[in-house]
Amino acid sequence: MGYDAVELIRHKRDGGTFDADQVRWVIDAYTAGEVAEEQMSALAMAIFFRGLDATELSAWTAAMIATGERLDFSSLSRPTADKHSTGGVGDKITLPLAPLVAACGVAVPQLSGRGLGHTGGTLDKLEAIPGWRAGLGNEEMLAQLEDVGAVVCAAGSGLAPADKKLYALRDVTGTVEAIPLIASSIMSKKIAEGTGALVLDVKVGSGAFMKDLEDARTLARTMVGLGTDAGVTTVALLTDMSTPLGYTAGNALEVRESVEVLAGGGPADVVELTLALAREMLAAAGRGDVDPAEALADGRAMDVWRAMISAQGGDPDAELPTARHTHTVHADADGTLSRLDAMAVGLAAWRLGAGRARKEDPVQAGAGVELHAKPGQDVRAGDPLLTLHTDDEHRVERALEALAGGWTIGGEPTTGPVVIERVTA
C-alpha cells in the first residue's frame, strides 16, 4: 500500500501520529529513493518539533532494522554483550573494556564508528596501531568472537542501511539533535547487530552531545525502552563529560593510555568507568558473579587485547606514531585547577588533526592533547598544563584559540562523580 509523502509530512507537522504501516512505508520508500531527500528533511524537521510517541518510535526503529540484515550470534559458545557510548572527549573506554569483558567469559561484538567533529572515533584510535584493520566480514567477525572473545570493527553496509542514509541527511539539515531520531539511529544498528545484552554510556556535560542532564535522561530512557521492547537486555549509565576522560584526547595518545589501563595502571576515572561498564555488561549477560577487577589485575584482559589486535592484523608491540611537533601550555597562576572544559580540549584536538570535519577527511594518528593536570589538582604558575601534539605546526594557533577560557585555576573544583545515574527498563 502506498502513501503520499507530502500528506505524511503535513500530518506530522500538524501534530498527528503515524501507524506502523505509514512508518514502514516512509522508511522503505526513502531507502529505495522514492521519497526525495528534501521530503525526508521536511519530515525529520517535523519530527524534531513534534516528536514520535513510544509506539511510533518502536515502529520507526523496527522499520529501519528491516531495511538490512540482522547478525546472529546464537552459534557462539558464550553469551554476548555490547556497549555504546554517545561520544565524548578522551572516551577511550571501548579499548580496555572489550578485552576485559571477553576475559570474563562474555563475547563482545563491538561495531564502532569514526570520529566526526570534536568527539573521537574508536576505529580512528585503533587504526593508529600499525597494521590493524577495521573492515571484517561477518564470517571473520564470528570466528574472532569464538576464538578471541572480542572484536572491534566497522559496521558493514548491510546493517540498517536506512540509518546510514538518514544520518547523513540529519547532519546537513539541523535535525541531529532530535531525541527520537538519535535513539532510533543508535538502537536500530545495535538491535540489528544481534547482541544479547547492551549497556549504553550516555554522556552528559559540555563535551557531550547532551549538555543537559534531563535531556540525557530522556535519551537514555528512550533507548533502554527500545532495546527492551526488542528483547535485548538493555541498561544505561549517565556519565560525566564536563571534563575529558583520562589525560589524553587523540588517537595514538589514547591507545597508549588504554594499554596502561590494561597493564593495571592508567587514570583513575578511566579505570572506574571501564569497571562500572564491565560489571553492567557481565550482569546483563548473566555473568554478574565474575569480578572484572581481577581480570584487569592478573593480566587476562591484556592477553585478550593482544590477541584481539593481532587477529585484525595489528602488531600489539609496535611503536605507536608520535606527532612531529609539540607545544606546551603552562599554568598562569598558583592554585587548584577547578575546571578543564571537555569541549575546549575536544575542539583543540580536532583542530590539531586528531578529528575530521567531513567523513572522508584523513586524521593524524599522533595528533591530540595531553593533559598534565585534572580538576582538583594543585598547580604552580609555569607548570605544564597541556601539551599539544600535531604534524602541522600551523594548526597550533587555532588549537590555542579553542582552548582560550577553557580552564580555571582557583576556586572549588566543579567535578562530580564519573557515573551520575543508572537507568533501567
Element (H, E) at 295: helix 292-297
Strands 248-250 and 150-154: unpaired
> Quick one: which of 231, 134, 234 has its CA closest to 183?
234
156, three cell numbers:
558493514
How buried is residue 291: exposed, middle or buried, by Cβ count under 10 Å (0-12/13-18/19+)?
middle
260, three cell numbers:
596502561
In this structure, what is the dihedral angle of CA atoms 257, 258, 261, 265, given to the nearest 10 degrees? -10
- Sequential DSSP letters for 345-366: HHHHHIIIIIS-SSTT----SS
- Sequential DSSP letters for 217-243: HHHHHHHHHHHHHTT-EEEEEEEE-SS
Enumerate the active-site residues: 84, 163, 170, 185, 189
Burial 182-221 (b: 16+ CB within 10 A, else e): bbbbbbbbbbbbbbbbbbbbbbbbbbbbbeeeebbbbbbb
Tell me how far the alpha carbon of residue 108 is from its chain's centroid: 15
CA angle 165, 204, 268 (to 5 degrees): 115
